[in-house]
């Protein structure tokens, strides 16, 4: 009788041991699969889907409107100036690039004299998105600047356009990589001919 009890007890222990081993094996397999999936995602994120830098390029800057009123007695100039700015934002990534509300600025000798918003949007994978902007000079910003009078009389007005677009590249719906792309163009407005020239642009992108 005791022998049979011992056999039953041993059988139960063997069954528990087998179940425990199966549970351990299943857990090990599950952990292994999970680790493999994570490694695969990481490898893809840093190889095939590696984040690349979006680039903003200035395609054209043209003069739409120019009005000049010179007050010789007060040595002051009243300016009405509107520029058409054409840019392209390229997303070289294999996933979309979402950017938040951004802006383009018109600057005169380091002073912002005009600004236009760039509404938030998304650029698909590999897409080149053209954006047309209109920059209008805020005349009151220059009323107290004596250099404007001298520049207008010399016939050349130094200007700068600066565009900054900030957004995120979403990799594998897991990794969010912040990206900022900027385009800064120095140019000259030739007053007499009403043309834009001497344009020099610099492009930067940060991840």
Looking at the structure of the chain, the number of domains it has is: 2
Whether the pLDDT of residue 29 is over 90: the answer is no
Same domain, 163 and 138: yes
Same domain, 1 and 86: no
Same domain, 71 and 35: no
Q: Calculate mean pLDDT across residues 190-197.
A: 91
Same domain, 80 and 175: yes
Could you tell me the residue range of the domain that residue 164 belongs to?
A: 55-206
Using alpha carbons, list the distances in angstroms from residue 122 to 38, 100, 117, 167: 27, 9, 16, 9
Percentage with pLDDT > 70 across the chain: 77
Whether the pLDDT of residue 15 is over 80: the answer is no
Whether the pLDDT of residue 55 is over 60: the answer is yes
- Residue 74, helix vs strand vs coil: coil
Q: Calculate mean pLDDT across residues 39-64.
A: 76
Q: Calculate mean pLDDT across residues 105-116.
A: 92
Is the torsion defined by CA of 46, 124, 176, 117 positive or negative?
positive
Tokens 């957004």 belong to 167
Residue-level pLDDT at 185: 96
Q: What size, in residues, is the chain?
A: 207
Same domain, 145 and 161: yes
Q: Calculate mean pLDDT across residues 164-187.
A: 84
Residue-level pLDDT at 162: 97
Q: Which two tokens stand for residue 189?
A: 């407005």
Strand pairing of 121-123 and 97-99? Answer: antiparallel
pTM, two decimals, is 0.75
Percentage with pLDDT > 90 across the chain: 43
Q: Which two tokens stand for residue 83?
A: 């520029």
- Cα–Cα distance measured from residue 4 to residue 54, given in angstroms and rounded to the nearest whole number: 77
- What is the C-alpha R_g of the chain? 32
122: domain CATH number? 2.60.40
Same domain, 4 and 62: no
């Amino acid at each position: 009788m005791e022998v049979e009890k011992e056999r039953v007890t041993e059988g139960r222990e063997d069954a528990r041991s087998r179940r425990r081993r199966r549970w351990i094996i299943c857990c090990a397999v599950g952990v292994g699969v999970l680790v493999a999936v994570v490694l695969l995602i990481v490898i893809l994120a840093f190889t095939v889907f590696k984040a690349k830098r979006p680039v903003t390029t200035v395609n054209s800057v043209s003069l739409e409107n120019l009005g000049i009123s010179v007050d010789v007695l007060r040595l002051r100039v009243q300016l009405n100036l509107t520029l058409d700015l054409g840019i392209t934002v390229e997303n070289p990534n294999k996933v979309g690039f979402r950017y938040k509300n951004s802006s383009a600025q018109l600057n005169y000798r380091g002073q912002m004299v005009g600004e236009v918003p760039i509404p938030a949007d998304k650029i698909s994978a590999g897409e080149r998105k053209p954006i047309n902007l209109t920059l209008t000079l805020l005349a009151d910003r220059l009323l107290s600047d004596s250099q404007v009078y001298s520049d207008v009389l010399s016939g050349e007005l130094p200007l700068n356009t600066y565009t900054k677009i900030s957004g995120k590249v979403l990799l594998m719906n897991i990794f969010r990589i912040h990206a900022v792309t900027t385009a800064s163009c120095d140019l000259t407005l030739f007053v007499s001919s009403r043309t834009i020239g001497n344009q020099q642009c610099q492009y930067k992108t940060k991840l």
